[in-house]
Structure 1
Amino acid sequence: MRRYAVNCSILFTDLPLLERPAAARAAGFGAVEFWWPWPNAAVPSDGEVDAFCRAVQDAGVELIGLNLYAGDMPAGERGVLSDPARTAEFRDSVGVLLAIAERTGVRSFNALYGQRLDGVPAAEQDRVATANIAYAARAVGAIGGTVLIEPLARGLNGAYPLETAADAMAVVERVRAEGPDNVRFLFDSFHLASNGDDLEKAARAYAADIGHVQIADAPGRGRPGTGGIDFAALFGVLDAIGYGGWVALEYKPQGPMEQEFTWMEVHPS
């Protein structure tokens, strides 16, 4: 049976962040995921962390995924871990991540790679990124966690260097060469399809390395049925390769919220 979770950083955004877990529960979801909840703070206050954890717990939902600190995403940043000048900031945030994991039980953590920087050689950014991902992987590995590496859609995320499944897997392999083996590929239908990857081929090629699946249609990043992805075929492939993890809904609402989940009647959990 397919297990759906809802990303509360892109859905239910008409509500304050701390009200979204309860809204997801009211909509019938038992699991949620979030991007890093504090875009302007690698280390939020203890009170902010406590309020976030309580919102999840009080809603009675499971937190199944959380982004590592990725900088100011509303302002366009897509990760800081490849920036040599922000290594300390990134590593400080990992301690906060572990505190949230202890409170909520979340064990999957998406590490956005960071955009290319002017004046810093790409090889140096890649070296720093590899070291920082390995650092995070060792930290969450102590609690049974997994770090996820995700490509992002070209043209929408600045100079983000990971665009295809092969790009993400190259990073996974580099980090594994440093020792940690709890690093896997985040398969996102919107980002991969937007960049021209064949979803079936990518799923089959990297079946053993897929740690998490997120879905949105392409183009447009709306709910399934608003673009050109054949979700019946995609779900069939995921079943065929034995993927048994969560499928997170990470799409932009395009109308009343009650309409955003009607497609699930055709693809039930």
Structure 2
Amino acid sequence: MKLAYMYATPEVAPARVTAIQGDAAACFARIRELGYDGVELLVRDPRAFDHALIERQLADAGLAMPAVCTGEVYGEDRLSLADPDPARRAETLDRMIAAMDLAVRFGAMVNVGRMRGRYMDGVERAQTEAWVTEGMQAAADARPETRIVLEPVNHQYANFLMGTAEAARFVRGLDRPNIGLMLDLAHITIEGEVHRESLAEAGDLFWHYHVCDSDRQAVGHGGWDIAAALNDLDATGYDGWITAEHFQVPDAQTAMEQSIRWLNRHYDKH
């Protein structure tokens, strides 16, 4: 199994995010030294940093880059494809396409989680769904060689496309071959879904996976049965990437070490 760790790119403000932050070259070197195979990039505005530089830094560290996560487009700037303001929807789409331009350098995917937006008071639900459909299809059509993965997001952070079955139906309705799903153990668990059933609901749309432990802790630091979840994952024949996405608690070094040690033990990697 290929294991990645989340890194927040330089334009993301210092914050309690589910990614390591700091000098890219130093972070990448440490991630590789610990035994991870890749780095997933958490971005806010992919136009704000040098794509060629980060590509060189990843290559120097011997790391792959499986996905670009757009969480802080919404988390920091509250931009989404469902914003009632057409200028803000257009800005969201511009950032999405910039993320796809970054991803194509690596053959990577682009995640759409909170950036899809929410149902809002005073806006018909059908209108919200239409805006998100339009934005997702526009991004897919603008860069058809790059895959997009929609992420079901639990009710603590979203009120739209929270469950796996609902998200799978939505993606199938988009009717674009480069749009699929990514699943996150945290969202599946918090929504009260049965993990193996969520994997089955996603079916052939399931392209990427995030893992953490309870309270968004490093793998093995919480109370969830991670082994059972990963056994479910293995039973599907999934051979893609698993990204450890969690808070850097008590600090980044300890969190990175804890997750890779647990995951390596589970997969008998040496």
- Report the TM-score range of the alignment, normalised by the length of the smaller protein: 0.7 to 0.9
Relative to the length of structure 1, the TM-score reads: 0.82
- Residue 228 of structure 1: how far off its partner (Å): 3.4
Other-structure match for 1:204? 200
Q: Which amino acid aligns with 1:110?
A: N
**Counterpart secondary structure, 1:63:** coil
Residue 240 of structure 2: which of 226, 245, 249 is its match?
245
For the residues of structure 1 that align with 2:46 and 2:54, how far apart are their CA atoms?
15
Are positions 1:21 and 2:28 aligned together? yes
Q: Which amino acid aligns with 1:67?
A: C
Q: How many residues align?
A: 251
**Counterpart secondary structure, 2:222:** coil
Are positions 1:136 and 2:135 aligned together? no
Relative to the length of structure 2, the TM-score reads: 0.82
**Is contact 1:42-1:89 (8 Å) kept?**
no
Structure 2 runs not aligned, ≥5 long: 9-17
Q: Which amino acid aligns with 1:124?
A: Q
Are positions 1:168 and 2:167 aligned together? yes
Can you list the C-alpha shifts for 1:146-168, whole angstroms capped at 9, x where unaligned? 1111122322x2x4422211221
**Is contact 1:4-1:31 (8 Å) kept?**
yes
**Counterpart secondary structure, 2:5:** strand
**Is contact 1:53-1:100 (8 Å) kept?**
no
**Is contact 2:219-2:226 (8 Å) kept?**
yes
For the residues of structure 1 that align with 2:224 and 2:204, how far apart are their CA atoms?
23
Change in Cα spacing, 1:211 to 1:88, as seen in structure 2 (3 Å) is: same
Change in Cα spacing, 1:110 to 1:262, as seen in structure 2 (3 Å) is: same
Other-structure match for 1:64? 66
Residue 101 of structure 1: which of 100, 103, 126 is its match?
103
Q: Which amino acid aligns with 1:149?
A: L
Residue 39 of structure 2: which of 32, 38, 42 is its match?
32
Change in Cα spacing, 1:17 to 1:231, as seen in structure 2 (3 Å) is: same
For the residues of structure 1 that align with 2:99 and 2:163, how far apart are their CA atoms?
27
For the residues of structure 1 that align with 2:33 and 2:106, how far apart are their CA atoms?
21
Are positions 1:80 and 2:80 aligned together? yes
Other-structure match for 1:234? 229
Other-structure match for 1:120? 123
- Residue 18 of structure 1: how far off its partner (Å): 5.7
Residue 209 of structure 2: which of 189, 213, 232 is its match?
213
For the residues of structure 2 that align with 1:239 and 1:260, how far apart are their CA atoms?
18
**Is contact 2:209-2:241 (8 Å) kept?**
yes
Structure 1 runs not aligned, ≥5 long: none
For the residues of structure 1 that align with 2:101 and 2:200, how far apart are their CA atoms?
35
- Residue 72 of structure 1: how far off its partner (Å): 4.5
Structure having the higher helix fraction is: 2
For the residues of structure 1 that align with 2:148 and 2:110, how far apart are their CA atoms?
5
Other-structure match for 1:182? 178
For the residues of structure 1 that align with 2:111 and 2:162, how far apart are their CA atoms?
15
Change in Cα spacing, 1:70 to 1:263, as seen in structure 2 (3 Å) is: closer
**Counterpart secondary structure, 2:66:** strand
For the residues of structure 2 that align with 1:251 and 1:160, how far apart are their CA atoms?
22
- Residue 229 of structure 1: how far off its partner (Å): 2.6
Q: CA RMSD in A?
A: 2.4
**Is contact 1:207-1:243 (8 Å) kept?**
no
